[in-house]
Amino acid sequence: MVILFFRPLLIIFLGLLFGAIPLDKPGHFLMTGFQIPSAFKSNEHWVYAQEMGPKIFITVGIISLVLTGILVFGGRNVISYDKMEFITAIFNALLMVTSFIVLEYKVKKFKKGNKTKEQKETNL
């Protein structure tokens, strides 16, 4: 049953990892940040996407962890392990897709004149 908690913990770990890696500009390597279409509009959009992406990943990971806990501890006598594994895989996949949709929406709504957290810190 403990293995079911691996996916949510992996999502949280990736959010923390991407939050720790500073990415100032888009790279051409596959794993260089959250490469969503609206992040490539400008450097400000890119920095904003890299700032918001880890926060969204960590939030999704926590939600997934809670839902997995409810499923495991609430349904262990009712649902078989195979079905639990299938259910957690499906809602983790749905949560990940939703997280990229939310990130894309937030970056699209980002106004170019707004300052990101990183830009505010450099002005202080």
**pLDDT tens digits for range 70-105:** 888 887 778 888 888 898 899 999 999 999 999 999
Report if residue 24 sits inside a domain. no
Domain range for 80? 52-110
Question: For the residues 4-25, what does the mean pLDDT come to?
Answer: 84
Supply 40's token pair: 């490539």
Please give the tally of structural domains in the chain: 1
pLDDT for 116 equals 59
Residue 117 lies in a domain: no
Whether 39 is covered by a domain: the verdict is no
pLDDT digits (tens, 9 = 90+) for 30-79: 567 788 888 888 888 888 888 898 999 999 999 999 999 988 888 777 88
DSSP 110: -
Does residue 84 belong to any structural domain of this protein?
yes
CA proximity to 48, closest of 123, 120, 98, 96: 120
> Which helix H or strand E contains 105, and what residues bound it?
helix 81-109
